[in-house]
Amino acid sequence: MPGVRDTLQCSFTACRVGFRKCWQWVQCHKPIVFVIQEQYNVLCLGLSGAGKSTLLAQLVDEPLTETEPTTGFNMKTLPVKNVVISIKELGGSRKVQPFWDHYFENKNAIVFVVDASSNEQELISARDVLKTVFTDARLKGKPCLIIGTHSDLDCAKKVEELETVFQPIMQSRKWRVYCCSALERIQVTGALEALIDLMLINNN
């Protein structure tokens, strides 16, 4: 009875997505009588195709359909440990980059996503884009997590190689590199933990 099984599977998926969305809403809008959790606002940037939308979809356990390039922004809010993290991805295409600075206000951290299987020149281009972002006073001193995606590919650069590329623009900023495959949920969860650690270190 494949038809019945498919219908049941669809209903189960719909319930799961619905429940998650309700839970996220409660986390973000719960009445004042509940304990108010601290919220961290994170900006997620990177060149087009780096894997930002894929990472965010994994974080909230959404199915990985073939993602379209993000033309505006894409926001995900999720409770982690004792805090709520709200991550805003901005599309990375050259057309969208000039509008990034409209979203720099009140951010606790920057996540910069790079395709770690890129060649040297592409990595330098990505670094130059981040360097320009860092010139904005609103992001001064904000911690930065570099996420190198595509680590499932043999040619992907390792953490140390990406550290060498990005070190020259970091100055006294708290930062670190985390490499993962955005297609692997467990690895992506590790990136989120690295981000929280970085924000907590920056607060202390």
Ligand X SMILES: Nc1nc2c(ncn2[C@@H]2O[C@H](COP(=O)(O)OP(=O)(O)OP(=O)(O)O)[C@@H](O)[C@H]2O)c(=O)[nH]1
Per the annotation, does 141 bind a ligand? Answer: no
Per the annotation, does 49 bind a ligand? Answer: yes
48 touches ligand X (CB under 6 A): yes
**Alpha carbons 70 and 75: distance in angstroms, whole number:** 11
Helix axes 52-59, 185-203, angle to 10 degrees: 90
Helices and strands of the chain, counted as H and E runs: 5, 6
Pairing state between β 175-179 and 109-115? unpaired
> Which one of 50, 114, 198, 199 is in contact with ligand X (CB under 6 A)?
50
Q: Give CA separation, 143 vs 88, 108, 185, in Å.
A: 15, 7, 23
- DSSP single-letter state for residue 37: P
91 touches ligand X (CB under 6 A): yes
> Which one of 18, 69, 72, 141 is in contact with ligand X (CB under 6 A)?
69
49 touches ligand X (CB under 6 A): yes
H/E segment holding residue 78: strand 73-80
Per the annotation, does 181 bind a ligand? Answer: no
Per the annotation, does 50 bind a ligand? Answer: yes
70 touches Mg ion (CB under 5 A): yes
53 touches ligand X (CB under 6 A): yes
70 touches ligand X (CB under 6 A): yes
Smallest gap, in angstroms, from Cβ of residue 68 to ligand X? 7
Pairing state between β 109-115 and 144-149? parallel
**Closest by CA position to 44, among listed 97, 111, 132, 136:** 111
- DSSP single-letter state for residue 97: G
Smallest gap, in angstroms, from Cβ of residue 46 to ligand X? 5
Per-residue binding letters, 6-45, with ligand X (x by CB under 6 A): ----------------------------------------
| C-beta closer to Mg ion: residue 103 or 170 | 103
**Alpha carbons 156 and 39: distance in angstroms, whole number:** 33
Q: How many residues bind ligand X (CB under 6 A)?
A: 22
Residues found near ligand X in the complex (CB under 6 A): 46, 48-54, 67, 69-70, 91-93, 113, 149-150, 152-153, 181-183
Which residues contact Mg ion (rule: CB under 5 A)?
52-53, 70
